[in-house]
Chains A and B, each alone.
Chain A
Amino acid sequence: MVQTDAVRRAWRAGLSVVVATSAYGLSFGALSISSGLDLWQTMVLSLLMFSGGSQFAFIGVMAAGGGVAGVASAAMLGLRNALYGMSMRRVVAPRGAMMPIAAHVTIDESTAVALAQPEPRSQRVGFWVTGVGIWLGWNAATLAGALLGDLLGDPRQWGLDAAAAAAFVGLLWPRLQARQAIAVAAASAVLATALLPALPAGLPVIAAAAVGVVVGLTNWLGPKHESALPDPGTARHPDPAHPRGEHA
């Protein structure tokens, strides 16, 4: 089959995102061990859950002793993947057994790379290269990070607790473009902090999520013309490795 320029560009974009994203699987592996999970538990999260934000949220809440709240946080953060699936279904058009595989690798990065390509064939290439590539790289890096984490001892000595907070800043940053999102982020942080001494571990984050839901439903502080909202994964670029979409 002839490789068009657009397809070659999709490969290149996908692979560069694969390298950048896989690298921070290292920090996930190390943080997961430091939050009290063992090697196999850490690997199951990367192999099966395979969604960076949800994985970091889950181990963060587990480290604090949050239990079921960790499940809820991971699931709520994973909801955006359903939205990506709705647009990727049209782009990828997976059949039969390929559907669950496509769904499994439908994440921020594969969606963003696919939508950044100009035509259907390169969009499919971008989706598969990025999704499958990150799955392989993320799991290899998680394993390396987990083995490394086992050797580190006290995670605080290495600043790994701060790295966990910084990872969430990185996931949040590209989403803070509109005034509404910035206001929601500020209010959620204040609410979660205020509730820290009052609620059991894990629940302050769930309570903060209510801010997003209420503002989302009422469109408080939002643009008057709703069509001004960009599609997920295009203008707003939900891609933590390349927040401004420089791979596009």
Chain B
Amino acid sequence: MKLSLGKWLLPVYSALALLFLMIPIGYTFVYSFNDSLKSNIVWRGFTFDKWLNVCNVQNGAVCEAFGNSLFIGAVATVVATTLGTMIAIAIVRYRFKFRSQTSLLLFLPMATPEVVLGAGLAAQFLSLGVPKDMLTIILAHTMFCISFVVVTVKARVASLDPALEEAGRDLYGSAAQVFARITFPLLLPGILAAALLSFALSFDDFIITNFNSGSVTTFPKYIWISAARGIPAEANVLASAVFILALVVVVTVQVSGAAKARRLAKLT
């Protein structure tokens, strides 16, 4: 495509598009070093203070919200990954009634706008008289993560060679042994990817959380509440730290995956 005119057009455009995606990230990172007062809007000079004393602002409200988000993300991830992996195995490996209904039930939460999911759960909790707290947030997050786990793990289960498990059974492995020693280790990369995705979805969710959190503050909710009067630079520090950590994890996974592929290529 476009060989004469556009030998450089497409690469340059792509670089600019990626640069465009990076602008708000760069802004957030740079302003985490701003020697700001209450609100972090005007540049007042460079400082490491906010990175060194993250929890000192507003009696540690930012850090408390951040901790809540970590806790909620961890619990929701464990529950959603377990339930979702079980469903994924069943869908790929077994025959059962109501198959298309099950697929629809798994697809719908992904096709429903978050505001509807959030309002629906909140209406249910309201009519049952359930008080909104940490538990209701976890229940909500687990719900929307399950479908994403199923989609991610399903691909991995489908690519698994059933002959490997048969070999295990031929060698007198019990069903539990075959699962623990063969199936689970082979599925692990898919399960880990699903867990990471769940955690990321839960950690950054605001719309559903806002409807089901009561007085509990998560990190995104803290930013929402503070947006009117100004976000302290400490929020930028925490967000930037998470960004760097996630980037390191993803790059490590990519590089080790590439290295593994190269080793395998050498063997064959």
User: Is chain B found bound to chain A in the same assembly?
Assistant: no
Please list the residues of chain A having a beta carbon within 8 angstroms of any beta carbon in chain B: none
Please list the residues of chain B having a beta carbon within 8 angstroms of any beta carbon in chain A: none
